[in-house]
Structure 1
Amino acid sequence: MLAALALTLGLPQAAGAAAQPRMEGKPLKATHKIHLSRPKLVNPTGHAEPKVHKSQGPLPTIPRKKLAELKAEAAKKPGVRKPEQSGKNSAKKLAPPPSQGSFEGLSQPCCVRPPDTHGAVSRGYFVEVTNGAGVGVYNKSDGSLLKNVSLASFFGYTAQEIFDPRVVYDKKWNRWVISAEAFQEDQDVQKVFYAVSTSSNPLGSWYIYTFDPPEEPGTGDFYDFPQLGYDQDAVIVTANIFRPGELGFNYIGSRAFGMAKADLYNGRFTDFRYFDVGLTGTVAPPIVEDDNANAFLVAAYPGADHLTLLKATGLGRSNGTIVQQPDVPVTNYFVPPNARQPGTDNVLDTLDARFQNASTQIGNQLLNIHTVSGGDYPLPKWYQINTDTSTVPSGQFGFVFEGGSSEDFNPSVAGSAVGGTAENPIGRMFFTWTSTDAFGAPHQARVKSGGRLATDPVNVAGGNTHAEASTFYDPSPDTVERWGDYSSVTINPSATSTCPVGNRAYVVNERQINTTDWGSRIGRLGFCG
């Protein structure tokens, strides 16, 4: 979700509420049929580097000026008592699923930020992708780095910088999928990339695909912040689209599509339907953990009193559809303030209340998390949506935070069916997030993880600490420093003698090496030994 820092965004809509008319039950329009390139079969190596766009920032789906105003307004709101501090709906500190160790991930000593840290775990490996540092393949047991390839070398492209990488491991098909896109070559050309491993071994060969997102000729549309999920038949992608205007780039809507696994995973030429999702804000696809024929997509738009829910059926097929569902009523949520750091006035960017990562979908339940305003501090809030009723029932939402004075953001969550029931098929939840504390028990940025059972209190407080910075982060002349943009939690697909499948997760999140350099930390935690 990188773009030139100086861009000023404007929208023909009221900030804080989606302007898209919600026409539930009506299929969305597929505006184009897209053809992927014929794949190249490669075994990527090397560290080729294109020109670097220094100090990039995100493209928000509300005007940048308005977003800055909302951030400033949120920072001035009186502190709201967190659930653990209040008598009503209080949450005792959980004993989190214990940390089972962590190891150092990829790092970038210069220039490219934020890292857009993302990763996934398989039976033997952990694969991490970041801006700048590229693709890293680790032995998941001992944390040894087995291979590191730049994004330019991995995809075989150096015309522009590649960014926004994501990775998933499809444990039923035993394939890895990595996605990313490049900055525009000109106003009509922007490359989007997909890589699919030919086996479960990420050290082996990959099919490399590419396409150029469709647009009206000469408009200069920019494809941004793609997210990556899948169901049993298709790899599912969402993205935000922006168009240059007099005041900079304008958000013109979001897009979604599915690519047939049967083609992608076998190195065959394929095409797909490209859906206009409208002005919904950033849309998160699901990772569907069962054989549900439908995949549900969800979006949050700051200042709203609902979540937008979409049902996709048959994505990757010629007759695939996406249909608007009834809005999901929730308590109003607002843009979070940026996170403060001890010892400096510089703050860390907490984004704009969007869902930053893919959802977990099990049965009729959809799980995701975003950062909202908790008064004068950022606070992650998770929801478990009943997709049959388009509701978030009582006891199926809560908050995640380290402590009473912490500032918590850049979250991700994944759910497991272990311990689930027919009424609530998500029996385990695992989280990662970033935490700072400037006032109560001061500390710099920490990589956090935690979890809950379906029967636990809804609010997750405390958590494990996998890494902690020794100084504040100040890599640029900006007063708001880029951080994260996303993180990742994935469920371990293999068992050990002491830990059945579904009870352990791997997390990866940005960490800070020193005042100017970012790194990452990969951690394990589980409800098991």
Structure 2
Amino acid sequence: MRRNWMVAFVSAGAVATGGVALAQSDLTAEGAVARGESPVVISDTSTVQPQIQAFTDWKGAVTLVKEHLPPHSRPDLKVRREKGQNDLAAGGLSDQVRTTPGAFFPGVQQTPWTPPDPTIAVGPSHVVETVNMAIAFFNKSTGALEFSQNLDNTGNPGFFEDVGAGNFTFDPKCFYDHYENRFVVVALEVYGSTQAFIDIAVSDDSNPHGTWYKYRTDARISANGCQYWVDYPGFGYDHRAYYVTGNLFRLNGNCSGFAGAVFRTFNKTPLLVGNPATYTDIRDGSAYSVQAATCHDSPVAPFFAQDWSTTQIRLHAIRDPLGTPSLVSANVTVPSYSYPTGGAPNSGGSTIDVLDGRIINVAYRGGRLYAGHGVRLNSKNQARWYQVATNTWPTSGSPTLTQSGNVDGGSGVHTWFPALAENKCGDVGMVMAMSSSSTRASVQVTGRQSSDAPGTMGALTQVALSTSGYNGGRWGDYFDTKVDPVDDTTFWSVGEYAIGGGTWATWIASFQVSDCGGGGGNICDDIKKFKGACKSSGKIVGKLVFTDTSHDGLPVTMSIDGTPYNTTVSGRSAKIAICCFSGTHTVSLDVPSGCRGPETVTCP
């Protein structure tokens, strides 16, 4: 039987069965360690029929994820968070364009849920994307959608349905474990006042098509006589384990509604061969919205980060994560800022919710920890990034700030949701959102080379522009950037844009910052010509011609007076033909961007 998207909720107190009895975690004492185990369910995505299920471009009712969650709120942290100002200075943007576009294609579009919460995992031949509440596999070379499935039990079946998942699997995330060459996916569940789960799945090789080892692990965290559920996960990895963090909100009992953050460590060894999962939990009652680092090299400990105050961010690390784990924390002083307020305007739409300044992502490489979040400076919201030297911490000493930068897009322009990573060359790639009262929300990328002045990123490059103003309010909740495991130089990013007043879509794009690793040339160099013209009928034609057929199948975006039109390269050319116009108009090549200037055409 084929299952279509349905928004049908498990009622309060109902049981989302999985046939598995799971131990509950008891973390009443700060520093306590709880251990759990969960059996595996082995499934094969190649048996799912149809391989591409009907979730794209949903036309029915849309539900805000938080409206289905139990009532929850964090305590007022204003006293701790507002710590005045300091004299440290953050860098900004240079005039130098540092990004060279590569492959790009549309990701998952509107599902019955909002916001999308997009993340990506990049393997040798595929890109996996997760959103609320779906998963999709794309061909990395062509952008072709090869597989899509609902994450909850509204699929045919749903991705996590075979481990017992109900109809509410929210805040999914994914990454590609380059140490083990596996795709890894996580999603959360909560039902009524009695059930909460962390679902995790690991592919059996570097191809997402085929066998997955799946687990549904208990996420009822006990503290001070109450049980708490897990929200807003961080998801990271290193050479030892997979790490999930999350805010703890009261599930049942009569005590505080917020219990800090949980840090769950999954020993990856049994997950790689389909043995029962083993995990440990640690709780920090003062932590919140913690993100886990995706790590390269072999860090001495797994690292985590969160915002802490208007002059500090807070790092966490777990000593001996697979033995007797202990959590240690340290504050790092950063240039002062204010927390985001007022949201971001977007042309033709209402104010976009840019969240509260929480850290969006964390990445580690070679003793350098990167993190990004939103701040309020000069009466507008701006993306802010940090590079922190971990030094010998947490074994000894302290971490220190190396450099930081703000993304000021210009007068009245707001930027938010920065997600960044470093490649093997020391290049840094970053994605973010941008909008203003006169521009629609867009996805922008930038980067820096290791030789660039401290704190600077290159000029912004637009990779996706909303086709309309957005009236959906909530955006994000996050964007994502990963490094290609094949060449270890190419960056891949995903972000949200709007394709209707309250309709979201995602865009996946790759780019280079330098050619130090031989990762690929500049696509702009392969363009022979770009021309615009207007026929006597009033039809405007835009045509892009490459020097050869190596870009056959590549998605292209051209715009007329700022309205985008998507097309695809056939052979060595791509064309749009739109009717009907009169007077003077501007035809632009938007994607790939930065390659050719606009063409002015005059129609009869």
Contact 2:91/2:404 (<8 A) preserved: no
Question: What is the Cα deviation at residue 447 of structure 1?
Answer: 0.9
Partner of 1:450: 446
Question: What is the Cα deviation at residue 450 of structure 1?
Answer: 1.0
SS of match in other structure, 1:327: strand
| 2:221 is the alignment partner of 1:215 | yes
Partner of 1:260: 267
Question: What is the Cα deviation at residue 90 of structure 1?
Answer: 6.3
Question: What is the Cα deviation at residue 247 of structure 1?
Answer: 12
Contact 2:470/2:502 (<8 A) preserved: yes
Query: Which stretch shifts more, 170-179 or 54-63?
Result: 54-63
Return the alpha-carbon distance in structure 2 between the equivalents of residues 28 and 363 of structure 1: 31
Question: What is the Cα deviation at residue 288 of structure 1?
Answer: 1.6
Decide whether aligned partners of structure 1 residues 60 and 460 sit closer, same or farther in structure 2, where only a CA change above 3 A counts: farther
Partner of 2:413: 406
Partner of 2:435: 436
Question: What is the Cα deviation at residue 310 of structure 1?
Answer: 1.8
Decide whether aligned partners of structure 1 residues 203 and 38 sit closer, same or farther in structure 2, where only a CA change above 3 A counts: closer
Contact 2:129/2:137 (<8 A) preserved: yes
Decide whether aligned partners of structure 1 residues 463 and 248 sit closer, same or farther in structure 2, where only a CA change above 3 A counts: farther
Deviation per residue, 1:178-199 (Å, 9 max, x gap): 0001232x31211220010011
Residue type at the aligned position of 2:435 = T
Decide whether aligned partners of structure 1 residues 254 and 449 sit closer, same or farther in structure 2, where only a CA change above 3 A counts: same
Deviation per residue, 1:68-114 (Å, 9 max, x gap): x99xx9xxxxxxxxx9xxxx9664322121122421100115x4100
Which of 476, 482, 487 aligns to 1:484? It is 476
User: TM-score scaled to structure 2, two decimals?
Assistant: 0.70
Contact 1:30/1:273 (<8 A) preserved: no
Partner of 1:354: 358
Partner of 1:114: 115
Between Structure 1 and Structure 2, the one with more strand by share is: 2
SS of match in other structure, 2:269: helix
Decide whether aligned partners of structure 1 residues 363 and 89 sit closer, same or farther in structure 2, where only a CA change above 3 A counts: closer
Return the alpha-carbon distance in structure 2 between the equivalents of residues 449 and 90 of structure 1: 14
Partner of 2:328: 323
| 2:521 is the alignment partner of 1:521 | no
Within-5 A mapping of 1:32-431: 32-43=34-45, 45=48, 54-57=63-66, 62-63=74-75, 91-108=93-110, 111-132=112-133, 134-152=134-152, 153-156=158-161, 157=164, 159-184=166-191, 186-216=192-222, 219=226, 221-243=228-250, 250-301=257-308, 303-315=309-321, 317-324=322-329, 326-337=330-341, 338-344=343-349, 346-357=350-361, 359-388=362-391, 390-393=398-401, 396-418=403-425, 427-431=426-430
Question: What is the Cα deviation at residue 249 of structure 1?
Answer: 8.5
Decide whether aligned partners of structure 1 residues 89 and 267 sit closer, same or farther in structure 2, where only a CA change above 3 A counts: closer
Q: How many residues align?
A: 456
Return the alpha-carbon distance in structure 2 between the equivalents of residues 192 and 230 of structure 1: 16
Question: What is the Cα deviation at residue 405 of structure 1?
Answer: 3.1
Return the alpha-carbon distance in structure 2 between the equivalents of residues 143 and 165 of structure 1: 21
Return the alpha-carbon distance in structure 1 between the equivalents of residues 275 and 483 of structure 2: 29
Query: Which stretch shifts more, 211-220 or 306-315?
Result: 211-220
Query: Which stretch shifts more, 93-102 or 222-231?
Result: 93-102
Decide whether aligned partners of structure 1 residues 455 and 244 sit closer, same or farther in structure 2, where only a CA change above 3 A counts: same
Residue type at the aligned position of 2:471 = D
Return the alpha-carbon distance in structure 1 between the equivalents of residues 92 and 132 of structure 2: 39
What RMSD, in angstroms, separates the aligned Cα atoms of the two structures? 3.1
Partner of 1:17: none
Structure with the greater relative contact order (CA < 8 A, sep ≥ 6): 1 or 2? Answer: 1
Question: What is the Cα deviation at residue 387 of structure 1?
Answer: 1.3
User: TM-score scaled to structure 1, two decimals?
Assistant: 0.79
Contact 1:160/1:183 (<8 A) preserved: no
Residue type at the aligned position of 1:469 = S
Which of 446, 455, 461 aligns to 1:464? It is 461
Contact 2:228/2:252 (<8 A) preserved: no
SS of match in other structure, 2:257: strand
Question: What is the Cα deviation at residue 523 of structure 1?
Answer: 0.4
Return the alpha-carbon distance in structure 1 between the equivalents of residues 446 and 433 of structure 2: 12
Over alpha carbons, which structure has the higher Rg? Answer: 2
